[in-house]
A = this chain, B = another copy of it.
Amino acid sequence: MQEKDHEYFMREALKEARKAFEEDEVPIGAVIAYDGRIIARAHNLREGSRDATAHAEVLAIRAACDAMGTWRLTGCSLYVTLEPCPMCAGAIILARLDRVVFGAQDPKAGAAGSVVDLFSVERFNHHPEVVSGVLAEECGILLKEFFRQKRS
């Protein structure tokens, strides 16, 4: 897949992240693509839904499973604006996603190399392709702006 395709889908994930920002949620967005089209999109809803598991990736995976009629998301790619946390990385492995593409790194909780690297644990039964740093600056600026406003 071309870098410009990754950027196209990441821009769609960024649209989701901006919806989260407008809803006073930490601005993280995700989309899932299959066969060149988006089958699921979601943004972080932890505060509004009062649900610790309502991260963008988990919500997008649940929506994609619903759209595909199966828990196996073989052939699908997940695009997310921030490096997945352990919960979301685990969900990506369980759902057998082919590929995970993320924007900014998460030095506090990233599970794709920043704190732990769950995708490279050999003993797990699935290993998605990982692409990092797509539109990283744009993804990171949105998060920085959110927390700057929160502090002020």
Q: Give A residues with C-beta under 8 Å from B.
A: 46-47, 49-55, 58, 61-62, 65-66, 69-73, 85-91, 93-96, 108-109, 111, 115-116, 118, 121, 123-125
Contact = CB atoms under 8 A, between A and B. Distances in A.
14 contacts: A47-B71, A50-B66, A50-B69, A51-B62, A52-B65, A52-B94, A52-B95, A53-B95, A54-B71, A55-B94, A86-B90, A87-B89, A108-B125, A116-B121
A119 to B, nearest CB: 10
Nearest to A72: B52
A49 B87 CA distance: 19
A65 to B, nearest CB: 5
Contacts of A86: 86-87, 89-90, 93, 111, 118, 124
The 3 closest A-B pairs by CB, nearest first: A87-B90, A86-B90, A52-B95
